[in-house]
Structure 1
Amino acid sequence: MTPSAVAVLTAAGSGARLGLGYPKALAELAACTLVGHAASRLSASGEITQIVVTAPAEHHGAVSEALSATPGVTVPWRVVEGGPSRQASVAAGLAELARTMDAGAPYDVVLVHDAARPLASAALVSRVVAAVREGAGAVVPGLPVTDTIKSVAVSADGPERVTGTVDRSVLRAVQTPQGFAWDLLLRAHAAGADRAQDESTAATDDSSLVEALGEAVHVVPGEAAALKITTTYDLAVAGLLLAEAVAGTDAADTGSPVTSQPTTAVPTTGVPKTAVPTTGA
């Protein structure tokens, strides 16, 4: 039997803070959707044999069209309906993968990735998969925290008050894709299923469900380019990073579907013109 690595790609996040009336996974970066960028990099890693994308039912068609239009998405993919929380959406993706698993090619590794992190590179995907296969049951990419972090007391009728300074040397800003041994992630989701239907109690990432089992979660080096797209500022930064990668020699290593310098790397709506990279920028 030949084991294989598979991926759940979440694409249900709201585009409200981007001023969109549809999921931000359908926002464009250099004429390619965020979900297309993320899926193409998963494909380019050479590690992933199939991708299940979770999206709102009313946007299945648009997400499918976006993936079909992205030349770098070369592995089989399908879109399934997500749930009321990210945790529930990932559970739906896992259920679909379990339903279609071939007994002759069982999954040994499953990645959970967010379309909102479109520039996480193919090299990062490979690094996470390798760490799981080397024996780490759960792996997250992380970056050292560079800001000073304060804990505060929050008051309803006054300013916040600092209660302490956290030792940032032991903090990491965690990203996706996160990687897991297949059986471990199934067990973690089953144990935490009662939290999934309410956004206020649902896990914000999958590694926290594994932590709740008392299992170890390991960290591998993350990437600055794997930033999460939430605001128009984030889109502008991602556009600059993408333009730099395309102009340089590392575009192929990232798995980017964009192979020529974009004339406009991000949507201009709500973005200062000075933040939009142009040819020659």
Structure 2
Amino acid sequence: MSAVGIVAAAGSGLRLGADRPKALVPLAGRPLVAWAVETLLTGGVDEVVVVVPPAERAAFAAALPGAVALVDGGDTRTASVRAGLAAAGPGADTVLVHDAARPLTPPDVVTRVLAALAAGAPAVVPVLPVVDTTVVVDEAGTVTDAVPRAPLRRVQTPQGFDRATLVAAYAALPDGVELTDDAAVVRAAGIPVTCVDGDERAAKVTIPHDLHLAGLQVRR
């Protein structure tokens, strides 16, 4: 089994308050995207494609190893992942899609996703249990119900797929439809998604506080 990793790195970083794309924001002296690429390669992925903002291609090329392929992203995440799939080499039969904004994802998570794919799962996501009380609120902000936590999970990346399955699912997705992640795309096509254990260290960097917490982990 050969795997290609696609790193979604075309986000603007506005919520992070950055003056550059989020994936280029430094964590302990290295851009977030460099951490994400290293995680995939260390975890067992054979090649990596990074989807970047077209205007920032040179900055990404300077920040990443020469063996990493760069491809221009689109206006939406869906368009960007499609571009990454089109740019992937022909030899890979499985695809892992990872967020550059999850820089401290341990390579063990990648290994677990790859193992589940090798065992025959067509789609795999790393997940964590929901530990907080979760409620439903109405438009006025009033709690109307409590949601049982036992069946709930928080979904992380990298998410892994049989390549042909993911390509077909994206081809079947109607124009203009945007889903929250790639697992939702294959589920919309009727494909079952298998779960493996995620990791708390794979938290997403979205706001400045997230970046601060990631920095504290690196300095431990």
Both proteins in one fold, TM over 0.5: yes
Residues in 1 aligned to 2:175 and 2:162: alpha-carbon distance in whole angstroms: 22
Counterpart for residue 77 of structure 2: 86
* SS of aligned partner of 2:212: helix
Counterpart for residue 145 of structure 2: 164
* SS of aligned partner of 1:142: strand
Counterpart for residue 177 of structure 1: 158
Choose the corresponding residue for 1:21, options 12, 19, 27. 19
1:193 Cα offset (Å): 4.7
Q: Deviations over 1:209-262 (max 9, x none)?
A: 111111110110100000000011101111112222xxxxxxxxxxxxxxxxxx
1:161 Cα offset (Å): 2.0
Where does the alignment leave 5 or more consecutive residues of structure 2 unmatched?
Answer: none
Counterpart for residue 48 of structure 1: 45
**How many residue pairs were aligned?**
220
Counterpart for residue 279 of structure 1: none
* SS of aligned partner of 1:7: strand
Whether the 8 Å CA contact 1:26–1:33 is kept in 2: the answer is: yes
Counterpart for residue 144 of structure 1: 129
- Residue 236 (str. 1) matches residue 217 (str. 2): no
Residues in 1 aligned to 2:152 and 2:96: alpha-carbon distance in whole angstroms: 23
Counterpart for residue 28 of structure 2: 30
1:21 Cα offset (Å): 2.2
Q: Deviations over 1:94-128 (max 9, x none)?
A: 0111xx41xxxx32210000100011111111110
Residues in 1 aligned to 2:156 and 2:217: alpha-carbon distance in whole angstroms: 17
Whether the 8 Å CA contact 1:87–1:204 is kept in 2: the answer is: no
Kindly report which structure 2 residues correspond to 1:64-83, keeping only aligned pairs within 5 A, or say none: 64-68=61-65, 76-83=67-74
Counterpart for residue 208 of structure 1: 184
Whether the 8 Å CA contact 1:145–1:168 is kept in 2: the answer is: yes
Whether the 8 Å CA contact 1:137–1:180 is kept in 2: the answer is: yes
TM-score for both structures, normalised by structure 2: 0.96
Q: Residue type matched to 2:16 in 1? A: L
1:86 Cα offset (Å): 0.8
Question: Which stretches of structure 1, 4 residues or more, deviate above 4 A after TM superposition?
Answer: none
Q: Residue type matched to 1:207 in 2? A: A
* SS of aligned partner of 1:93: helix
Whether the 8 Å CA contact 2:72–2:80 is kept in 1: the answer is: yes
Q: Residue type matched to 2:86 in 1? A: A
Structure with max Cα Rg: 1
Where does the alignment leave 5 or more consecutive residues of structure 1 unmatched?
Answer: 196-200, 245-281
Counterpart for residue 115 of structure 1: 100
Residues in 2 aligned to 1:21 and 1:240: alpha-carbon distance in whole angstroms: 22
Residues in 2 aligned to 1:171 and 1:85: alpha-carbon distance in whole angstroms: 27
TM-score for both structures, normalised by structure 1: 0.76
* SS of aligned partner of 1:107: coil
Residues in 2 aligned to 1:175 and 1:37: alpha-carbon distance in whole angstroms: 16
